Structure 1
Amino acid sequence: MTKAVYPGTFDPITNGHMDIIRRAKSVFEEVTVAVAISQEKRPMFDIEARVAMVKAATRGMKGVHVMPFDTLLVEFAKEIGSRMIIRGLRAVSDFEYELQIGYANASLWKEVETMYLMPSLQNAFISSSIVRSILKHKGDVSHLVPPENAAFLKDSIYVCDL
């Protein structure tokens, strides 16, 4: 397999996400970062901003593509010609949820596989929800997000007040 899809809301993209993208890219020729519209999660950033942040962070990474999606993940994977889904696992607490999602996807399309990748130890604690919480309290997230997005996040009009 030469293509993989790495889905998520990326609200916002973090250094942990970038770690997983780099690891996936070392295994696959092409990695499509699939940014979920995911209105049910009530993202802090709209889809255009999230796609722009992921594109900025992955600019120059050969074979990495960024696309929004609003369908079943397996349908999106079929659309782009990928049978491999990449998911990140930070901690044991992620495992049960991610396993259920992987089984659900396999029940929808027998040919799909899910590969679980762990970020490096330095990025294992980072999550988008932690970044959003720090942003809401006007804290510095520059050490948690790609440098291409740090200034945008610091000055973002999207950041909510409590």
Structure 2
Amino acid sequence: MKTSNAIYPGSFDPVTNGHLDLIERGEKMFDLLIVAVLRNTEKQPLFSVPERVEMLREVTKKWADVEVDVFEGLLIDYARKRGAGVILRGIRAVSDYEYELQMALMNRKLEPRLETVFMLPGEPYSYLSSKLVREIAQHGGPLEGLVPPVVEQRLRAKVS
């Protein structure tokens, strides 16, 4: 049963099959799942924000209730603007949980009506991160099963 609009925020640099696992499962839970790319000027991403948005739109187009957008600033402000009541976050390990718990509690303090839902990735993706994918690509390693084919092509072109 779907209950609300949710935001799945992240850098998605690049989008991985782990991200897509959460998007696919989240899309079934919410009326609208907004995949929100964070515009963070403090980080040096491999892909620009427009490139990440384009890749995300390509790999999520099969889900009617998924929208890709960009935000900057406080997530709670963006959630208010978009009418979202839920933040969807993935947790792979205890280290993720500690960070995500702190963020969820702060968001709750700033906006008590905004809930955070934590999801565990599917087992095949429990070790997967964008950082590891970038490192593997930069060293010419195999990316099969880690990212969608369109993302693999873009990664290979970017790092070669």
What TM-score range do you get, normalising by the shorter chain? over 0.9
Q: How many residues align?
A: 158
Which consecutive unaligned segments of at least 5 residues does structure 2 have? none
In the alignment, the residues of structure 2 paired with residue 2 and residue 70 of structure 1 have an alpha-carbon distance, to the nearest angstrom, of 22
The runs of at least 4 aligned residues of structure 1 exceeding 2 Å deviation read none
> Is the 1:7–1:34 Cα contact (8 Å) retained in structure 2?
yes
Q: After TM superposition, give the deviation of residue 45 of structure 1 in Å.
A: 1.0
Aligned equivalent of 1:102: 104
Q: Find the residue that maps to 1:32 and give its secondary structure.
A: strand
Matches of 1:16 and 1:6, distance apart in 2: 13
Structure 1 residue 148, shift from structure 2 partner: 3.0
Instruction: Give me the whole-angstrom Cα distance separating, in 1, the residues matched to 2:155 and 2:31.
Output: 30
Letter in 2 for 1:35: V
Paired letter, 1:67: D
TM-score by length of 1: 0.92
Structure 1 residue matching 2:12: 3-state secondary structure:
coil
- TM-score, length of structure 2 as denominator length: 0.93
Partner residue of 2:22 out of 20, 23, 39: 20
Answer whether contact 1:56 1:149 (CA < 8 A) is retained: no
2:70 aligns with 68
CA distances 1:85-144 after superposition (whole Å, capped 9, x unpaired)? 000001122110000010111111111000000111001111000011112212232320
- Matching residue's letter, 2:31: E
Does the 8 Å CA contact 1:23/1:117 hold for their aligned counterparts?
no
- Identity across the alignment (%): 41
